[in-house]
Structure 1
Amino acid sequence: MDPAAQRLLDSVNWASLHHAYGEATDVPDNLRALLSPKTSDRSNAYEALSSNIFHQATRYEATAYAVPYLLKILENPATPARASVINYLVDLALGIPSTFLPHGVNIIAWRQWTEKIYAPGYEAEYYAEHDKDENQRKMREYVRHVGLERQRRYAKHELAAYDAVCAGVPLFQKLLEEEEDVEIRAFAAYALAWFPGEGAGGRNRSSAGALQRVLDREGEDILVLSSAIIALGLLNGCWKDADGVSDGMGNLISRLREYGASTRPSLVRFAAAVSAVRLLHHRPEDVSVLACILADRSFVPKSDSQKSNDLGFPFHEGDLFQYSGKAMNTLNLGDYPGVMSTLLDAFPRLGRVEAFELAEVELELAFGPRPEDEDGRQVESLNEIQRRTVTALAELAMKYWRGAVLGDILEEWNIPGGSRDECRKYMGLPVGDTGEGSDGESDEESE
């Protein structure tokens, strides 16, 4: 082990720190195991660390103290699987990074929220929210107090972990610019996306320069280029939200339009589309790319987004389908009438599982987030986009309706889904027709 890394481990009194299961005395051995030449040892170490200092994406007192060691071994070219180290560092900083998409990290709002929950007035607000049942108030007094303390404690640990990883931004920039390994560079770009700095003088604004230089290089690898494009969109979007300005925005928008051209690889076009949407400078062509990804999982070849057996495209854990849906959800579909047809026409070509996934995305696009109440939704209240969406699902062949999955999905949005006929009747369609068609395709053939 690098002596400097060892000194970092030895400088921490791990017995005085706590994680999900108590004293953090097991953490040093877990961290050392990340340097093992054996993949199985490293996998076991990550599993242990994801259980103790990152249990269910929660950060603990010991979490931030592990970060300097992780950054130190990341510096060392001899460390195996360094892209995995970067990926884990981002997880420690954010918990579940995909929950921050499509907008990115607003660190100013994050700090304001943390300050708010520690303010004296917040206690009354918190208790009021948890005291709606008058009869249970006394019984829950202790639970309410513990809940408030836990919320404050976790908020403190989360911000400490974020700040600890933020200290590694210069290293991420260096890896992006100097490393030869494609996967390391792609994940370095991914890491830079989450640390925009705070205000016009934020020191991490220099990340934009490193990412921009990726765009300026000819013949850049698709994975690295696409990661840098998305990272720039997230960083510039956060800066624009924070202080109303963003250096080089005009040049970036011009580049995004260049990368959105149909002659570009589809992963690059996807990256340009989600960045353009984030920056509110999207065009119909960008929205069409997102619709194509939702309608056809093969639109982006796996060879473009997967470079190893362990890690693929960094953002949203490589799930371009869900990322596209989130980006599309920020738009008014009424402005893009062709999108609805693209998505609805795709259903009959999909296997059952893919159709169910698209149905969830399509319903959220049409109706918004799942409602909390369980009141029935009157058919007369549906707008045109909502009617077309539910009609398309009601008209799907019976093979999609067998089992309860599609019906359950509809009922989450308060649409009758107890059976295909129930949904068809709701929409005023004839009932009794199975819709199987003449090809006799079986459920197994449709998977």
Structure 2
Amino acid sequence: MLDGLDDVPWHRLGHAYGTASDVPGQLRDLLSGDVATRGVALWQLGGNIVHQGSRFQASAAAVPFLLEILAGPSPLTTTERVRLIELLGELAIGDPSFYPSPAFPLDEIRADAAAGSGLMAAFEAGPYDGDDFMEYLSALDEPDQERLGAVLLLRVYEAVRAGKPLLERLRAEEGDGAAALREAATETLHWL
């Protein structure tokens, strides 16, 4: 499980607190047999890769592994699985109350991301590491910050959207705790 995790250049990716070098350990900790270790990992990931509605370079990179953990055999409890689905929803759209209608403004985000793609390419081509991203971002004017943010948002949204078949399966799950899984999957699918 988690094939390819060590192939991601996490040290070059940023999250809310700097370089994302700690994300692989947090993802591995989600597979721990210890409930406290899993709880800390979920809490840390929730603060690192989506922080107060912001997404980061590490956010999109982490999503395929979160989906793999959710799909595969794991020690996660139903409550932890629900929280993981909620985390994926937060990654995809942030806080739903940010959007005045039930529709996610995907076309607008795509247009902004297209305008910001050169900014992201310039950063990614540079000699930067994950600690430098926030400095790079803060040096830009506000419209360019928004465009760069749209690039990150679109990357994360598309990564979560790739998990739509899994969420559809979870929405149809039966058994103990299935109602909570169905509800969380339905809420996240609503935005995808």
Q: How many residues align?
A: 168
Distance 2:187 2:115 in 1: 30
User: Is 1:76 paired with 2:72?
Assistant: yes
State the partner residue of 1:103: 102
User: Is 1:59 paired with 2:55?
Assistant: yes
State the partner residue of 1:92: 91
Match of 1:187 among 180, 184, 187: 184
TM alignment of 1:16-165, pairs within 5 A: 16-80=12-76, 81-100=80-99, 102-115=101-114, 145-165=140-160
Amino acid corresponding to residue 40 of structure 2 in structure 1: N
Distance 2:19 2:169 in 1: 35
Give the TM-score normalised by the residue count of structure 2: 0.76
After TM superposition, give the deviation of residue 153 of structure 1 in Å: 2.0
1:398-444 CA distances to partner (integer Å, 9 max, x unpaired)? xxxxxxxxxxxxxxxxxxxxxxxxxxxxxxxxxxxxxxxxxxxxxxx
Distance 2:49 2:113 in 1: 20
Higher relative contact order (CA 8 A, sep 6+): 2
Assess, with a 3 A threshold, how the Cα gap between structure 1 residues 189 and 118 changes in structure 2: closer, same or farther.
same
Distance 2:89 2:5 in 1: 20
Q: Give yes or no for contact 1:18–1:24 (8 Å, CA) kept in 2.
A: yes
User: Where does structure 1 differ by over 6 angstroms across 4 or more consecutive aligned residues?
Assistant: none
TM alignment of 1:141-290, pairs within 5 A: 145-180=140-175, 181-195=178-192
TM alignment of 1:323-402, pairs within 5 A: none
Bigger-Rg structure (1/2): 1
Distance 1:105 1:147 in 2: 22
Give the TM-score normalised by the residue count of structure 1: 0.35
Distance 2:64 2:140 in 1: 33
1:114-153 CA distances to partner (integer Å, 9 max, x unpaired)? 335669xxxxxxxxxxxxxxxxxxxxxxx78443443222
In structure 2, stretches of 5+ residues that fail to align are 119-137
1:298-346 CA distances to partner (integer Å, 9 max, x unpaired)? xxxxxxxxxxxxxxxxxxxxxxxxxxxxxxxxxxxxxxxxxxxxxxxxx
Amino acid corresponding to residue 184 of structure 1 in structure 2: L
Percent identical: 37
Assess, with a 3 A threshold, how the Cα gap between structure 1 residues 40 and 102 changes in structure 2: closer, same or farther.
farther
Assess, with a 3 A threshold, how the Cα gap between structure 1 residues 113 and 14 changes in structure 2: closer, same or farther.
closer
SS in 2 for 1:36: coil
Distance 1:146 1:109 in 2: 19
Q: Give yes or no for contact 1:73–1:79 (8 Å, CA) kept in 2.
A: no
Distance 2:112 2:149 in 1: 12
SS in 1 for 2:52: helix
Assess, with a 3 A threshold, how the Cα gap between structure 1 residues 42 and 162 changes in structure 2: closer, same or farther.
same
Assess, with a 3 A threshold, how the Cα gap between structure 1 residues 190 and 152 changes in structure 2: closer, same or farther.
same
Q: Give yes or no for contact 1:93–1:158 (8 Å, CA) kept in 2.
A: yes
Distance 1:118 1:76 in 2: 34
Assess, with a 3 A threshold, how the Cα gap between structure 1 residues 74 and 106 changes in structure 2: closer, same or farther.
same
RMSD of aligned Cα (Å): 2.4
Distance 1:169 1:22 in 2: 30
Amino acid corresponding to residue 111 of structure 2 in structure 1: Q
Q: Give yes or no for contact 1:8–1:69 (8 Å, CA) kept in 2.
A: no
In structure 1, stretches of 5+ residues that fail to align are 120-142, 196-447
Distance 1:158 1:166 in 2: 12
SS in 1 for 2:57: coil
Distance 2:6 2:173 in 1: 30
SS in 2 for 1:87: helix
After TM superposition, give the deviation of residue 19 of structure 1 in Å: 1.7
Distance 1:101 1:157 in 2: 21
Distance 1:73 1:111 in 2: 28
SS in 2 for 1:193: helix
Amino acid corresponding to residue 188 of structure 1 in structure 2: A
Q: Give yes or no for contact 2:112–2:147 (8 Å, CA) kept in 1.
A: no
SS in 2 for 1:62: helix
Amino acid corresponding to residue 67 of structure 2 in structure 1: L
User: Is 1:13 paired with 2:12?
Assistant: no
